[in-house]
Copies of this chain bind each other. A is one copy, B any other.
């Protein structure tokens, strides 16, 4: 089986590959994993030896199919455990990430699948992120940033791109809730401030930074 460290590298490479491009740089990995660059170089060599990644000296790293399978498996675990923590144990959506970072490394496909079943085969985690199925297939989300909306546009709030507890707390406090409708009433030309109508006609004003971290569907 793979070590926690390897799994965290794989997950990080997967996410950087999704977000930015095909090949991942040593420095970006060092940054997200909070280690120094030589540690990354070292680890990538070992992982290349295990055929989890293809590593080209000074050019960057990519996941192999095997590495991708492992990464998606960890993400599946992470998101299912987050659902468990929120739906069954009563945690808030801003409290579960760090616990899920531990729970995602429990090694048992059978447990993952039984948990999935116990939770009613959820399609998304508490932050709206899609949950890969047992075959490692992750549905491509067609959600789009609120910051791309024009005045009058509307949609359903289905996800966030900033997962920080402070942002999630701000959303709670301001009245945002996953699954609710949101309509753009106006966009201030000067600073791209958004005036939104939330569920129950409540109007709120949010900065561009916020609009740029909210995902809407339909």
Contacts and interface: CB of A to CB of B under 8 A. Distances in A.
B103 A106 contact: yes
Contacts of A173: none
B111 A106 contact: no
Nearest to A85: B111
Contacts of A90: 114
Interface string A94-125: 00000100110011100100110010000000
Interface residues of A, number: 15
Total copies of the chain: 2
A91 B115 CA distance: 11
Contact of A102 (B89, B91, B107, B114): B107
Main secondary structure of the interface of A (DSSP, over half): helix
A197 to B, nearest CB: 36
A88 interface: yes
A216 B88 CA distance: 34
Interface in A113-153: 114-115, 118
A13 to B, nearest CB: 24
A114 B89 CA distance: 6
A91 B102 CA distance: 22
Contacts of A102: 106-108
Interface string A75-91: 00000000001001111
Nearest to A105: B102
A99 B102 CA distance: 14
A89 B103 contact: no
A78 B89 CA distance: 18
B89 A99 contact: no
